[in-house]
Structures are given as structure tokens and as C-alpha cells.
Chain A
Amino acid sequence: MPLTQDEIKELHKKSREIRKQIVEITYSAGGGHIGGSLSQTDVLVALYYKYLNIDPSRAHWEDRDRMILSKGHGGIGWAAILGDKGYFDKTLLKDFNKTGSPFGMHLDSLKVPGCDASTGSLGHGLAIAIGLALGARLKGKNWHTYVMLGDGECCEGSVWEAATIGAHHKLDNLTGFVDRNKLMIDGPTEEITTLEPLEEKFRIFGWESLRIDGHDFAQIGDAIEKAQTIKGKPTMIICDTIKGKCVDFMENDYKWHYGGINSDMVDTAMKSIDSYYQNILG
């Protein structure tokens, strides 16, 4: 069932909150992968606040849906959501990156409740997700496995190795997302190494392949719901997004893949986020 206007409004409010937290954590942590954390936010918010079958009070509940952030550098954005969902005391996030903190740039599955796999080294998450999806089938379980890849990550050969195998096993209990913000550390993806046509590539590899605006909740919801109905193959949803989304001085600037911000920048960023949501929410 498509998301209602009320649901979409609530998801926007949550995204606003998460984006502000991302800015705060980036500030207190002394730096972070803020650009990609902001680009992935809406898809993750839709998953965590609408679609995932999870129980944060039981992080290891066997029947939970699994979520792998293969683009593990989005850890700040992911942790903000996990904390907000109640997997842990979110005041702990002020210690992000601090010595001895459970929270580093790339989340550790043994230290962060709700983190289903330790990622960060790109090109690993899809294979782990395939193992989890196959595991669900073997155990006769209904959990769904979700995995989010970075677009630059799709340069890794192991992504395509895994894509081949995921299709071979007809894993319709597996849904992937590519956070297609079109920028990697050193610049635009298409200038560094061409990734397009990404949607067609996954289709040729045997996946149901969709392309959406990754900041449009109606499209995000429709795509996730469509993926749930696809039988006999996994689904990859290419989400066109904007790196640094909602922070005007970061948007579409590859230099904000990773960066630190001072208090003035925090103020500017918060104003920019408010202004964006003012337009949407009124």
C-alpha cells in the first residue's frame, strides 16, 4: 500500500531530525563522512520507521529483518538512526570517534546493537547479505535482508561477483539499494570511472532493477513494496540522491565526502536543513 501523505510527512520530520543529528555528531566527533550520511538518510529512514520488521529491545531477535550498510562509511548516519530507534542510549553518540568509544566511523557489529555486520571495507556487504538471505531460506525463516551499497562501491569487482551469485540463487528475500549520489572521494564517479548504466547492469545480472529519486518517500515506499512482491530474483533499487543533501554548502560537492565542521558551519547547516523542510512541511 503506498505511503499516505501523513506517513510521508512524518518520515520527512524524522529525516530532518536525523540529518540534524548527523550534523551534531560530525561536529562533536571532529569530522565524519557527512556527505554520504546525508544522501542515504531518506532511504534508511523509510526502512527503519516504516518497513523493517525489527525490535530494538531485542537486537538479536532471530526473526528480525537484517540491514547491512555495505557503504559502512555512512556509519554516523546509521548510528543516529539506531540510537533514535532505541538500540542504545543515544547520548553515547557524543563520544563518536573518541578513544574507547563503541562508535567509530565504520560501525562494529560486536559493539553496536542493531548493526548486523561490520562493514567499511567496500565490496563486502552484498556477499554477507547473500549469506543472510540464503541462511533465512535454509532455516525456513521469513526475515528479509536489506543491504545498501555506495555507488562508488560498485567499482569493486566483488559487488558483481556477489550480484551474479545472488541472482543465481533467486534470492527474492534480498533487496539492495545503491545510494547513487554520483560522487566518490576523488570526484564525480563518471569522471573517475564510468558506472552507468547502473540500473541496466543489475538487470543484466539477473536482478529486478528499479531507479528512483532517493529523497522522494513516495517513490522509496513504492519501490520497497514492489521489491517485496518480486519472486524468483533479488531486487536492486538505484536511488538517485544528492551528496550532502539538505546542507546547501555541502550539496553535490565531493569534498564533503568526509569533513569536519566548526560551530558556525553547524549553525549554517541547521538553518539550511530547516529551510529545506520549511518548504516541504510548511
Chain B
Amino acid sequence: MAEGMTWSIEEADKLTQAEIYGDVLCQLGDKYPDLVAITADLAKSTKIGRFGQKFPDRFFNVGIAENTMFGMAAGLAQAGLRPVVSTFAVFTALRSAEQVRTDICYQNLDVKIIATHAGISFGQAGTTHHCTEDIAITRSFANMTVIVPADGIETGNAVVAAMEWPGPVYIRIGRGFEPHVHTTQDYGFEIGKAETINDGNDITIICCGVTVLHAVRAAKVLEKEGLRVRVINMHTIKPIDKDAILKAVEETKRIVTVEEHNVFGGLGSAVGEVIVESGKACAFKKLGLQDIYSIVGYPEDLYNYYKIDSDGIVETISEMMGKKIEEDEDWEDET
């Protein structure tokens, strides 16, 4: 993280992603007097309401009116303020896709969006409240930066970094009840720069959001089987860290992507685009929702059901490693 960009919350590792961003926003409110926060009747659920309690004059709850909320955010940004908007991912990327794209991204405005309850993290609420399309949608908006933090600590880092990052930013978080992957905020978070959490040269897992935790767990299981698994936390989907992907292709020749999202258009697609354009070949598998709508259930059960938890990752990697992989030493002739 760049010099001077810090936040401080006691026992952050015990808090959810949303609780941390709510508290971090309160700290940023002191630093940025022009920071304004907006939500659409989800002040409590998203935790942006914490900012509202501290700065009531700079907080707007528009009621259940997401489209107007994003348009207002554009107007506030044009008025010279720094709007931070928060609602569920499904209402951001689906209901208000056009306002986000046309009012905010097309005009390249400094609006930071924190979309909560993404993926299948709000499992019991059912598909109307799940969002397994938002990465695909938001990364297709020119000017938009898309970040999927692995845990609460990374969410804090992402929110802080986003304030100094030009243009619109979409930060996608779940409910965030899972244990944190990071134990400290000082691990060098940088937008657009992937984090290698576990090193290894047998296979690479590229993941984001809650799947980072599951990937780390899977890597530990597989290590006992003698496999050295590289785990790349691709917290920034756009701009994506091409170097990290291509290095992994070259050094491990097998990639599996894991995401809480439809396998069409999300992290796996973004990684696949980089690999295909490089002309390099590798074994490649995308884990996520296989173009289906999610079932209802507890999130941890759903992660298991869709094989994006550590069990599913271990199973997939075991299968991949059992297959014969082309070990082409003459790498350069394929480019």
C-alpha cells in the first residue's frame, strides 16, 4: 500500500468485510471532507450507515431507489464531491447497470461503489438476492476498476486505495463472515497487482474474494500429497495483473481459477483472455457457477455444492494432475 494510506481498526480480524469498510469509511471521512456516502435503504445491511452516524450531513439514504442513487452519485461527483455508494451487488450491477455505466463510467466520474452480498454469500435469500454476473458486467464498462477483496482486511485496504485511484471503482464483497486470510494489513496491497499467497510450481490457483480462503486451505491439503500449489489472490479483476498470470502459465503450466460467480465473464474468463492472447498453452479449468442459477442454502454449503470450497478445489486439482499435461520444454516456439 502506498505511503500514508493507512487505516487502523482494533481486532479487525474479528470483523466482517462490511463492518471493516464501514469503520474505514468513518476514518476516511475525517481525511476527506468532501467524501459523501449514499445508500438505498441498506444503511445497516451494508454498514455504510456507520458513516452516516458519524457524518449525518454527508450521508444520504434515498430509500429504495437505486437508479436515482447512482444518478445522484454522478451529479455529486460532478459537483466536486467524492461519493461512495453502497448497496447489494445485484442492485448495483443488474438493476442500475445503465446508471453505473452511462452516468458514472461513461463520464469517468470519481464514484466509488461498494457492492455487498455479492455472489452466493447471501445464500438463504435465494437467487433474486444472489449476484453471479456482476464481475462480467462491471468489467465490461470502460473506465471501471473492479476489485474483489479476499477478506475484511483486504477490503479495508481496497477502500483506502480506491479513494486515491482515479475514476470509478467497483469493490465487490460478500457478507464476509469467513475467517480472514490476512493477519495484517501491511502485505503490500496495490490495485492491479496480484498477491501470491502461497508459492509452488506444480499448479496455480487464481482466485478472488472468499475463494482465496478456500484456495489456501486446498493448497495445504494438497501439500500433504506432495503438490506445491501456487495461490494467486487476483483481488483486482480489472486492470488484471497479466504478468502474474503469464508467469504462472510459464512456471506451473496448469491453472485453475475459482470464483463465486458464473464461469462466463468473470475471473476465469478474464484470466483465460490473458492466456489465450499470449499464445501460450496450459491446462486450464474454471471453477464457479457453471452457467446456472444458484440454489438456496447456507453459503458454506453452497460453496461446497458448487465445488468452489477447499474440497472442490482439491478434487479438481487431483483430477487435473492425474491427466497427462504436455511438458513442452521448447516453450518459445509456441508464441
A residues apposed to B, CB below 8 Å: 62, 66, 108-110, 116-118, 121, 123-136, 138-139, 141, 158, 161-162, 164-165, 168-169
30 residue pairs of the A-B complex, CB under 8 angstroms, read A66-B78, A117-B78, A118-B103, A121-B98, A123-B67, A124-B99, A124-B103, A125-B71, A127-B71, A128-B71, A128-B75, A130-B71, A131-B71, A131-B73, A131-B75, A131-B79, A131-B83, A132-B75, A132-B78, A133-B75, A134-B76, A135-B81, A138-B36, A138-B81, A139-B80, A162-B68, A162-B72, A165-B63, A165-B65, A168-B63
B residues apposed to A, CB below 8 Å: 36, 57-58, 60, 62-63, 65, 67-81, 83, 98-99, 102-103, 106-108
* Chain B residues near A125 (CB-CB < 8 A): 71
Query: What is the bound-complex CA distance between A108 and B102, given in angstroms?
Result: 11
Question: Are A130 and B67 touching (Cβ within 8 A)?
Answer: no
A235 CB to nearest chain B CB (Å): 18
A sample of 9 more A-B contacts (CB under 8 A), given A117-B75, A128-B74, is: A121-B98, A123-B67, A130-B71, A130-B72, A131-B73, A131-B76, A132-B79, A134-B79, A165-B62
Query: What is the bound-complex CA distance between A251 and B308, given in angstroms?
Result: 62
* Chain B residues near A136 (CB-CB < 8 A): 79
B322 CB to nearest chain A CB (Å): 52
Query: What is the bound-complex CA distance between A162 and B68, given in angstroms?
Result: 6
Query: What is the bound-complex CA distance between A165 and B65, given in angstroms?
Result: 9
Question: Which residue of B60, B67, B75 is within 8 Å of A129 (Cβ)?
Answer: B75
Query: What is the bound-complex CA distance between A148 and B75, given in angstroms?
Result: 15
Question: Are A127 and B68 touching (Cβ within 8 A)?
Answer: yes
Given contacts A121-B98, A138-B36, A138-B81, contact A131 B74 (CB under 8 A): yes
Question: Are B65 and A134 touching (Cβ within 8 A)?
Answer: no
Query: What is the bound-complex CA distance between A133 and B24, given in angstroms?
Result: 28
Question: Which residue of A108, A131, A141, A165 is within 8 Å of B78 (Cβ)?
Answer: A131
Query: What is the bound-complex CA distance between A136 and B63, given in angstroms?
Result: 21
* Chain A residues near B69 (CB-CB < 8 A): 127
* Chain B residues near A162 (CB-CB < 8 A): 65, 68, 71-72
Query: What is the bound-complex CA distance between A17 and B108, given in angstroms?
Result: 34
Query: What is the bound-complex CA distance between A117 and B98, given in angstroms?
Result: 15
Question: Are A128 and B102 touching (Cβ within 8 A)?
Answer: no
Query: What is the bound-complex CA distance between A50 and B323, given in angstroms?
Result: 77
Given contacts A109-B107, A110-B108, A118-B106, contact A135 B67 (CB under 8 A): no
Question: Are B72 and A131 touching (Cβ within 8 A)?
Answer: yes
Given contacts A124-B99, A165-B63, contact A117 B107 (CB under 8 A): yes
Question: Are B107 and A110 touching (Cβ within 8 A)?
Answer: yes
* Chain B residues near A66 (CB-CB < 8 A): 78
B279 CB to nearest chain A CB (Å): 33
* Chain A residues near B80 (CB-CB < 8 A): 62, 135, 139
A144 CB to nearest chain B CB (Å): 13
Query: What is the bound-complex CA distance between A165 and B64, given in angstroms?
Result: 10
A59 CB to nearest chain B CB (Å): 13
A108 nearest in chain B by CB position: B106
Query: What is the bound-complex CA distance between A125 and B71, given in angstroms?
Result: 8
Question: Are B72 and A127 touching (Cβ within 8 A)?
Answer: yes
Question: Are A158 and B68 touching (Cβ within 8 A)?
Answer: yes
Question: Are B68 and A139 touching (Cβ within 8 A)?
Answer: no
Query: What is the bound-complex CA distance between A108 and B58, given in angstroms?
Result: 29
B99 nearest in chain A by CB position: A124
Query: What is the bound-complex CA distance between A108 and B103, given in angstroms?
Result: 11
B275 CB to nearest chain A CB (Å): 34
Query: What is the bound-complex CA distance between A165 and B98, given in angstroms?
Result: 19
A131 nearest in chain B by CB position: B75
Question: Are B71 and A135 touching (Cβ within 8 A)?
Answer: no
B76 nearest in chain A by CB position: A131
* Chain B residues near A116 (CB-CB < 8 A): 78
* Chain B residues near A127 (CB-CB < 8 A): 67-72, 74-75, 99, 103
Query: What is the bound-complex CA distance between A66 and B68, given in angstroms?
Result: 18
Query: What is the bound-complex CA distance between A21 and B67, given in angstroms?
Result: 35
Given contacts A118-B102, A118-B107, A135-B75, contact A165 B58 (CB under 8 A): no
B79 CB to nearest chain A CB (Å): 2
A152 CB to nearest chain B CB (Å): 18
B68 CB to nearest chain A CB (Å): 4
A-B CB proximity, top 6 nearest? A131-B75, A135-B79, A127-B71, A131-B72, A128-B75, A132-B75
